[in-house]
């Protein structure tokens, strides 16, 4: 897999050459190793180990429903009252972060109404704080530490 713009961690791989898997620290099981999953696991470890996010308040592949359409938010951070606080959307490293990616995460946010949105392809990361009063997304210089959200 490609080297990412995220810190290394003790990666646990399994499976076969044809069907490799990677340990999902949140689901506590091995999942299919795809380029997007490679980014997700690195990013989750970055949040937990470097930004002090509690793993108990993070969830991967959160099911959402809009009308008859079933969607999945890649990762959601909850507050201590289990109200969604942040949505994180991942793309494979070769997928550029475009307006289409922000449109996708915005659809999820129509349901969850969170304070923060993050998108990452493992190379480039964008974080923004929602300002619902002025109906704007304020881009942050870096991924916030847990204590600052």
* 59-88 per-position pLDDT tens digit: 999 998 888 888 899 999 999 999 999 999
Protein fold of 13-143:
tt1808, chain A (3.90.1570)
Q: What is the mean pLDDT of the chain?
A: 94
Please write the tens of the pLDDT for every residue from 6-47.
999 999 999 999 999 999 999 999 999 999 999 999 999 999
- Domain extent listing, the chain: 13-143
Angstrom distance (rounded) from CA 111 to CA 23: 29
Q: How many CA atoms lie within 13 A of 137 on its CB side?
A: 16
High-pLDDT (> 90) share of the chain, %: 87
Query: What backbone torsions phi and psi does residue 125 show, to the nearest 5 degrees?
Result: -130, 135
High-pLDDT (> 70) share of the chain, %: 100
């Amino acid at each position: 897999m490609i080297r990412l713009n995220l810190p290394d961690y003790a990666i646990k791989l399994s499976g076969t050459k044809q069907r490799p898997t990677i340990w999902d620290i949140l689901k506590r099981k091995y999942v299919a190793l795809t380029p997007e999953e490679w980014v997700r696991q690195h990013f989750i470890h970055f949040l937990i180990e470097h930004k002090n996010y509690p793993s108990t308040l993070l969830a991967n592949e959160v099911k959402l429903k809009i009308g008859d359409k079933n969607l999945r938010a890649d990762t959601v951070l909850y507050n201590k009252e289990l109200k969604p606080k942040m949505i994180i959307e991942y793309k494979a490293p070769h997928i550029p972060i475009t307006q289409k990616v922000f449109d996708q995460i915005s659809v999820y946010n129509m349901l969850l109404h969170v304070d923060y949105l993050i998108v990452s392809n493992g190379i480039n990361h964008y974080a923004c704080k929602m300002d619902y009063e002025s109906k704007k997304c304020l881009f942050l210089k870096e991924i916030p530490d847990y204590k600052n959200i």
